[in-house]
Amino acid sequence: MTEDEQDQAMNELLAMVGHYVIVFQWIESKVEECLLLWWGHENWARSKDRLSNMTNNQKIDALWIEFRENPANERGRSHPDWVAQFEKLVERLHLERKRRNTLLHSHYLFDFMKIGLPIVQVDPKAGNLDMGKEAQDDIRRELGQLGLDISFAYTQVVHDCMASSSA
């Protein structure tokens, strides 16, 4: 692998991590928007303060609690298939949160590129992981699907809150 190819591979990984952070933050904002809707417009300022003191883990847990208990989501809970889908979405949000922590708090070895191997992600808990183009594409694809799914969930929350407030 030439030095130019090594630089390109390193730049592609760093660009992927940067894009990942942006999309992850967008997903987290959709979680927050769902919570804000369920907590009510009249509580907006207090709810924003509450969110600012919560970890991502706590926000995802609160999302699941509100889905199951919030009166504004009665319609959503009345569909067993939606309950099952939402539960899986919450599980995936937690898995992605863990991946984010691993991705951002790992060390990366670029030396292996010199001998023709992909970048290696070194994480003390997860071990060494291949971070070549295929692994990066998998991360992008899975994050994109999660973004689409949380967007659908947010739209459902909007509809359920509107239906609840007009009832």
Please, are residues 51 and 60 in contact by the beta-carbon 8 Å criterion? Answer: no
The answer to whether 146 and 93 are in contact (CB under 8 A) is: yes
Nearest to 39 by CA among 64, 70, 9, 8: 70
- Report how far residue 93's alpha carbon sits from residue 24's, in angstroms, rounded to the nearest whole number: 10
pLDDT tens digits, one per residue of 86-138: 999 999 999 999 999 989 888 887 776 777 777 888 887 777 888 889 999 99
pTM over 0.95: no
Nearest to 12 by CA among 139, 151, 162: 139
Quote the CA–CA distance of 1 and 8 in Å, as a whole number: 11
